Amino acid sequence: MKLLRNVGTTTKAILLAGLLGACQTENDSTLAPQASANVSDKNAKTVNIPRLIKDGENELQYVADGLGRQVLSKVIDHGANKYYKYTYSVQSVVEDQFQLGTDKPLGQVIYKLNANGKCNEMIIGGKTFILEYNADGQLAKRYNKNSANERIEFEYLQDSNANSKSLDKMTFFTAGNAKIREVSFHYHYSGEPVKLDLMPLNPKYLDCTTRYLPIFGKFNTFLLRISNDNWIASGGIDQNFVYYYSLSAEGLPTLIDQSIFGGNGFTTTVQRKYFSPLAGQ
């Protein structure tokens, strides 16, 4: 596993070190709700695991798929005053967006699926994006179908504590093939033990409307400690996000503090709640 790199000044490094003692972190890559029975049997062993029902200002709702599994049916985003409804088929997941309170339609996203139940095409905002996966089944590239240079590339690093690879870096390019942004991910700091991410979400940097659909493959094994977001196009302006939180007895993150350095630094706290089919709570 790697240590923190390229975080800027010595002052930043001292601040980060002070914050990171005795902390576990949220993963920008996260809890994946159960996949549809029509999506893939590879994602089917999810009947009795806990489900995320609250993530900050987002409420998540589920519906039975007819085969004893629960699939994500609705996400209510109180912060954005919107909600999202999901419809499943063998070939796709369709996300319809509405204004909260009025039910006014606000848009639609279509996630087309391959034979393994992974998204290989995404239609959003009038654009069609193609998604490609590497030999390990992890997302390697997402690019504009009509302008292939407009893309995000994903790099993974071998986990030293597990027989797996975790997301190491995402690099963003314009249609003119100019690198404009680079985000790096760090899963431990200064020799501290890593913690398993039992219910990872999709990275918030994925540039799609949901972090909760498990249709983009596995991004990580351990909880994220630090992410470094470098906006190359803005003169190298970067922000460092430090994640630390409380865990439940099962090891699930329940309170997540996100401290931000760079620009106007501040700390936010996100609460997560879960429903366990076995425990009934």
Q: Which residue has the tokens 């695991």?
A: 49
Is the pLDDT at 221 greater than 80? The verdict is yes
Residue 199 inside a domain? The answer is yes
Range of the domain at 32: 10-36+116-275
Q: List the structure tokens of 117.
A: 């139940």
Res. 267 pLDDT band, cuts 50 70 90: confident
Residue 85 inside a domain? The answer is no
Which phi and psi (to 5°) does residue 91 adopt? -95, -15
Distance of CA 62 to the CA centre of its chain: 19
Number of domains in the chain: 1
Residue 2 inside a domain? The answer is no
Distance CA 54, CA 101 (A): 19
Distance CA 257, CA 246 (A): 9
**More confident call, 90 vs 23:** 90
Res. 102 pLDDT band, cuts 50 70 90: very high
Is the pLDDT at 38 greater than 60? The verdict is no
Q: How do residues 170-195 score in pLDDT, each as one tens digit?
A: 999 999 999 999 999 999 877 778 88
Residue 23 inside a domain? The answer is yes
Q: List the structure tokens of 152.
A: 């995000």
Residue 56 inside a domain? The answer is no
Q: Is the dihedral of CA 164, 151, 76, 107 positive or negative?
A: negative
Give the pLDDT confidence score for residue 153 in this predicted structure: 98
Q: List the structure tokens of 275.
A: 């429903």
Residue 160 inside a domain? The answer is yes
Distance CA 161, CA 223 (A): 12
Distance CA 89, CA 85 (A): 14
Question: What is the rounded average pLDDT for all residues in the chain?
Answer: 81
Residue 213 inside a domain? The answer is yes
CATH number at residue 244: 2.40.160
Question: How far, in Å, are 6, 28, 82, 232, 241 from residue 262 at the CA level?
Answer: 13, 18, 30, 14, 9
Q: How do residues 132-171 score in pLDDT, each as one tens digit?
A: 999 999 999 999 999 999 999 999 999 987 889 999 999 9
Residue 89 inside a domain? The answer is no
**More confident call, 265 vs 171:** 171
